[in-house]
C-alpha cells in the first residue's frame, strides 16, 4: 500500500514520540512515580510568582484530586509551601522552598542532558527548522522564540 505524505508524517511523529519516551524517561518505577512530582517542581521554578493549583492542571494532565494529592505530598516533603491568597483568603498559592528549587534545578539539569543526547543528532539549523515546522502544526507561528 502506498502511504500518503500525511500518513507518513503521522507515523514518523509517533516514532519520534516513542523514541522520546524511551530516551528521555527512566524505566525505573521509582523514577516514573517521581515524574509528575518533578514536573510540578520544574513548572513552579519557571514561574516568577506564586501560582494556584489550577494553573498547573493544563501542564500536568492529571485529575484535580491527583494534583491535590501530589501537592500535599510535596508540601509534606518540604519542597513547596502553600500561602493564603491575599484577595481570596479561601485560596492558596504555591511557592517553591529552597529545597524545592534545588530539586527542580537537579531535575532540569538531568532533562537537559537527556534532550541534548536525543536532539544532538541535529545541527542548530535543523533544530530551528524543526521548531518552525512544529510551530506551524500547532498554530504557534507567531510565538516562536529565537534560539
User: 135 vs 49, 115, 144, CA distance in Å?
Assistant: 27, 19, 7
Q: What is the CATH number of the domain that holds 135?
A: 1.10.10.10
Task: List, for the chain, all residue ranges whose pLDDT scores fall below the cut of 70.
Answer: 1, 24-33, 141-147
Query: Which domain, by its residues, includes 117?
Result: 5-143
Please tell me the distance from the alpha carbon of residue 69 to that of residue 55, in angstroms, as a whole number.
Answer: 16
**pLDDT value of residue 115:** 87
Please tell me the distance from the alpha carbon of residue 138 to that of residue 97, in angstroms, as a whole number.
Answer: 34
Residue 25 DSSP symbol: S
For the chain, the domain total comes to 1
Q: Judging by beta carbons within 10 Å of its beta carbon (0-12, 13-18, 19+), is residue 101 exposed, middle or buried?
A: middle
**pLDDT value of residue 99:** 95
**pLDDT value of residue 147:** 47
- Closest alpha carbon to 71 in 41, 110, 49: 41
Whole-prediction pTM value?
A: 0.70
Amino acid at each position: 500500500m502506498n502511504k500518503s505524505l500525511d500518513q507518513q508524517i503521522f507515523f514518523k511523529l509517533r516514532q519520534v514520540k516513542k523514541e522520546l519516551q524511551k530516551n528521555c524517561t527512566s524505566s525505573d518505577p521509582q523514577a516514573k512515580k517521581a515524574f509528575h512530582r518533578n514536573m510540578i517542581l520544574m513548572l513552579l521554578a519557571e514561574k516568577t510568582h506564586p501560582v494556584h493549583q489550577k494553573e498547573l492542571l493544563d501542564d500536568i494532565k492529571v485529575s484535580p484530586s491527583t494534583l491535590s494529592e501530589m501537592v500535599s505530598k510535596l508540601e509534606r516533603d518540604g519542597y513547596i509551601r502553600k500561602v493564603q491568597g491575599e484577595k481570596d483568603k479561601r485560596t492558596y498559592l504555591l511557592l517553591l522552598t529552597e529545597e524545592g528549587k534545588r530539586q527542580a534545578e537537579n531535575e532540569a539539569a538531568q532533562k537537559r542532558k537527556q534532550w541534548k543526547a536525543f536532539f544532538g543528532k541535529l545541527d542548530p539549523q535543523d533544530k530551528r527548522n524543526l521548531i518552525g515546522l512544529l510551530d506551524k502544526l500547532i498554530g504557534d507561528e507567531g510565538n516562536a522564540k529565537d534560539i
